[in-house]
Amino acid sequence: MTGSAIRLAILAIAFALITVAVGWWAVAVVGILWGWLAGSGIRYHRTLGAAAAGLAWLAILTAGAFRGEGRALLATISGLFSVPAVLLVASTVGIGVLLGFLGSWLGSRLRASSHHLT
């Protein structure tokens, strides 16, 4: 297993755990922390943060589907908006990807600006 795959797995687990424990908004906080820690030292750290957040949210949604959670709500919302249910799931995962990417980007920017202060 390569270093990037290991980082992706660990980061996805962190995103999933913090989402379940605290809520969706904590994904941005983990992303900021990841971006600050990774900085420019890890190539493609923003993409890695985005992919890990998306995988985490996909895993959470999949686990919920296997437990039977959310089916009625998904059917109701997809009927309300007249969109296929898969589009709602994809857009939910997309929000996680966006939060992971933007958090990672902001964290790396904060790290870069903190170096200018010293």
Tell me the pLDDT tens digit for each residue of 31-54: 999 999 887 677 788 999 999 999
Print the domain residue range for 98: 3-117
Choice between 58 and 112, residue whose per-residue pLDDT is larger: 58
- What is the C-alpha separation between 58 and 80, in angstroms, rounded? 23
How many folded domains does the chain comprise?
A: 1
pLDDT of residue 88 exceeding 70: yes
Q: What angle do CA 90, 86, 60 make, to 5 degrees?
A: 60
Cα of 80 vs its chain's centroid, Å: 26
Tell me the pLDDT tens digit for each residue of 91-114: 999 999 999 999 999 998 887 666
Task: Supply the pLDDT for residue 112.
Answer: 67
